Structure 1
Amino acid sequence: MDKLHAMRVFVRVVEANSFSKAADTLGLPRASVTTTIQNLEASLGVRLLQRTTRRLNLTLDGAAYLEGANRILSELEELESTFTTASKMPRGRLRVDMPGAIGRLVIIPSIHEFHQQYPEIDVMIGLSDRPIDLIQEGVDCVIRLGRLEDSSLVARRIGAMQQVTCASPEYLAARGAPQTIADLENHVAVNYFGSRTGRTVNMCFQSDGETIEVPMKSVVSVNDADAYVTCGLEGLGLFQPGRFMVLPHLRSGALREVLRDWRPPPKPISAVYPQNRHLSPKVRVFVDWLVELFERCPLLQGEDEGDEVCATGRLDRPAPAPELETETTCDCVA
């Protein structure tokens, strides 16, 4: 029996808490995963997992074996990664998840560049606004927006998203354009609520270092970024999308920015991955590529820089300094 293979299968089964999910993420038949665990237990002479109809539970021996297996596999991966050279490119399947708007408008249009640099990496891109359990779903890396708090995941800051407060001309003609924060009492918003919490995200404004959150009345609330923009275009209220999502509509006049002196603060964009795993070469090069992509992407520039880049191709906006943070699930529009 290949003990290293058996260790990897065992760790994946525990992480996914399911034989079938582990089989899917490993690309193996379920029967093969079951047989591998049975053979491993027979070889060790102990029971590693207690199986019930609803879940798997580690035995005491299983917990001890898991700790040792994780340590061995991490050390092996780290050792192998030290021999990765320019002539031995990172390879394998890379599963990433990201907000739909960022994926469609920023990353996917440039993913061919990443493939040209790393042709042996097969990128699987999931587009969703829902929270992702990286361990359970076998995802290597996720892109998330907003402030990140303590958890078992680590994040690297890769960029920032500028936001605007805007509305359709029809809505503004009917209600008037707000001139101050106090004027918002006479307005309604398209509200965005988090898929995980169901909590409505307040509108946020910043000026001269002062930040104000304003809860808004609404006639409709959504939890999807594309639907959020569509509702704004249909005149259902004020809303605060990422500027890159509505830049063509602002230029065409289909949307108009309001409260320019109280613009929303930028939202950090982070690449998030588990901290209990060695950062594999394929994840590392993908995150490095994202940093470079976000630095030069015209859609993520500020108003003046973005317009000039689109007109001239000049790329002179510095990238945000990479930062390490810990991650929490955040309810953000993207």
Structure 2
Amino acid sequence: MDRLEAMSMLLAVVERGSLSSAARTRQVPLATLSRKIADLEASLGTRLLIRTTRKLTLTDAGVAYVAAARRILEQVEEAEREAAGEFTTPKGELVMTAPLMFGRLHVLPLVAEFLAANPQISIRLLLSDRNVDLVSDHVDLALRIGKLPDSTMGATQIGEMRTVTCASPALLAAHRGPQTPDDLRAFPCVTVDAPMPTQSWRFCHPGTGAAIDVTIQPRLTVTTPEAAAQAAIHQVGIARLLHYQAAEGVRQGALQILLQDYEPVPAPVHLLHVLRGQMPLKLRSFLDFAAWTSPLKHRTPIPA
């Protein structure tokens, strides 16, 4: 039995919460993964997992073994990286994740420039609007927009991003545009359905900095920011977006940014990474490169 492989499969099951999900992540047949864990339990002479139809639970022995297995696999991974020279020369594969649209517009050009300057590094860029788990999905870097929760992750801020309110000039021509956030109550609005939806949009008073919350009654709710931008272009209503999501419409004159004096404080943009001992030079190199060359370092580079 390959003990390290069995440990890795056990961790995948714990991190993913089920045998089937772990099998898909590891790209192995479910029967193979189940057999590997059963063989591991047999070799140890104790049960590590309690399987029910609803969930998997670690036994007391399983809790201790998983903690030890995680330490062992991290040490093995670090030893392999050191042997491969990743701590002495920037080389190897870097796995990154970023939001789909933001990654295409801002991260991909940065990656292309970085690769041109670092011929021994390759990058696997995962563009997804899902918040990927860095540990269980074996990701080196994740780009996050917004305030970060307290965690044990390392974070490097590479810029900031405005939140803007925008509408079609044609819609504004038919109505007197809003002069203050409260005026939005009289306008049709487009909102984006989110995991934690809110019925209000937050603004910032230009004189005092106090928060202003305006309750919105959406005329249309969509599932993606891209759809909200298109709906605003088609005069359905006023939309609230991150600046990059409205950028193309603004450049083309199809969208106009409103209430700029009332915009909330820009959201920070971070590169998030796992803290685990010595940092490989490929990771350190990209963090330094992004911090110095990111177009978001000082402001959003798109005119209002």
TM-score tier (shorter): 0.7 to 0.9
Q: Which residue of 1 aligns with 2:127?
A: 126
Mapping 1:60-75, distance limit 5 Å? 60-75=60-75
Q: CA deviation at 1:141?
A: 4.3
Cα distance in 2, alignment partners of residues 107 and 256 from structure 1: 25
Cα distance in 1, alignment partners of residues 202 and 70 from structure 2: 44
Q: Which residue of 1 aligns with 2:268?
A: 268
Q: Which residue of 2 aligns with 1:199?
A: 198
Q: 2:86 aligns with which of 60, 84, 87?
A: 84
Instruction: Look up the SS of the partner of 1:147 in the other structure.
Output: coil
Q: 1:255-291: per-residue Cα shift (whole Å, max 9, x none)?
A: 222223223321112334556x568636555555543
The farther-off stretch of 293-302 and 118-127 is: 293-302
Q: Which residue of 2 aligns with 1:291?
A: 291
Q: Which residue of 1 aligns with 2:22?
A: 22
Cα distance in 2, alignment partners of residues 165 and 108 from structure 1: 26
The farther-off stretch of 239-248 and 280-289 is: 280-289
Structure 1, gaps ≥5 residues long = 305-334
Instruction: Look up the SS of the partner of 1:179 in the other structure.
Output: coil
CA contact (8 A) 2:153 2:274 kept: yes
Q: Percent identity?
A: 33
Instruction: Look up the SS of the partner of 1:301 in the other structure.
Output: coil
CA contact (8 A) 1:81 1:280 kept: no
Q: CA deviation at 1:44?
A: 1.2
Instruction: Look up the SS of the partner of 2:221 in the other structure.
Output: strand
Q: Residue 127 of structure 2 aligns to which amino acid in structure 1?
A: G
Instruction: Give the total of aligned pairs.
Output: 299
Q: What TM-score comes out, normalization by structure 1 length?
A: 0.74
Mapping 1:272-283, distance limit 5 Å? 272-273=272-273, 281=280
Give the 3 Å change call, closer, same or farther, for CA 35–114 of structure 1 in structure 2.
farther
Q: CA deviation at 1:201?
A: 5.4
Give the 3 Å change call, closer, same or farther, for CA 279–171 of structure 1 in structure 2.
farther
Cα distance in 2, alignment partners of residues 169 and 106 from structure 1: 26
Q: Residue 300 of structure 1 aligns to which amino acid in structure 2?
A: T
Give the 3 Å change call, closer, same or farther, for CA 54–182 of structure 1 in structure 2.
closer
CA contact (8 A) 1:21 1:137 kept: no
Mapping 1:1-334, distance limit 5 Å? 1-81=1-81, 84-87=86-89, 89-91=91-93, 94=95, 96-116=96-116, 117=118, 121-128=122-129, 130-133=130-133, 141-150=141-150, 155-194=155-194, 196-200=195-199, 202-208=201-207, 210=209, 211-273=211-273, 281=280, 285-295=285-295, 300-301=300-301, 303=303
Cα distance in 2, alignment partners of residues 298 and 250 from structure 1: 20
Cα distance in 1, alignment partners of residues 102 and 152 from structure 2: 24
Q: CA deviation at 1:294?
A: 2.6
Cα distance in 1, alignment partners of residues 161 and 2 from structure 2: 47
Instruction: Look up the SS of the partner of 1:199 in the other structure.
Output: coil
Cα distance in 2, alignment partners of residues 144 and 220 from structure 1: 27
Cα distance in 1, alignment partners of residues 171 and 165 from structure 2: 13
Q: What TM-score comes out, normalization by structure 2 length?
A: 0.81
Q: Residue 32 of structure 1 aligns to which amino acid in structure 2?
A: T
Instruction: Look up the SS of the partner of 1:207 in the other structure.
Output: coil
Cα distance in 2, alignment partners of residues 101 and 236 from structure 1: 22
CA contact (8 A) 1:178 1:184 kept: yes
Q: CA deviation at 1:14?
A: 1.4
Q: CA deviation at 1:133?
A: 4.9
Q: Residue 14 of structure 1 aligns to which amino acid in structure 2?
A: V
Instruction: Look up the SS of the partner of 2:239 in the other structure.
Output: coil
Give the 3 Å change call, closer, same or farther, for CA 270–8 of structure 1 in structure 2.
same
CA contact (8 A) 1:203 1:240 kept: no
Q: CA deviation at 1:214?
A: 1.9
Q: CA deviation at 1:177?
A: 1.4
Cα distance in 2, alignment partners of residues 209 and 261 from structure 1: 12
CA contact (8 A) 1:106 1:297 kept: no
Q: CA deviation at 1:46?
A: 1.3
Q: Residue 128 of structure 2 aligns to which amino acid in structure 1?
A: L
Q: Which residue of 2 aligns with 1:308?
A: none
Q: Residue 198 of structure 1 aligns to which amino acid in structure 2?
A: P
Q: 1:204-254: per-residue Cα shift (whole Å, max 9, x none)?
A: 235245132322222112231101111111112222322233334323322
Cα distance in 1, alignment partners of residues 290 and 205 from structure 2: 27
Cα distance in 2, alignment partners of residues 291 and 57 from structure 1: 42
Cα distance in 2, alignment partners of residues 206 and 100 from structure 1: 32
Cα distance in 1, alignment partners of residues 288 and 138 from structure 2: 21
Give the 3 Å change call, closer, same or farther, for CA 286–209 of structure 1 in structure 2.
farther
RMSD: 3.3
Cα distance in 2, alignment partners of residues 283 and 87 from structure 1: 11
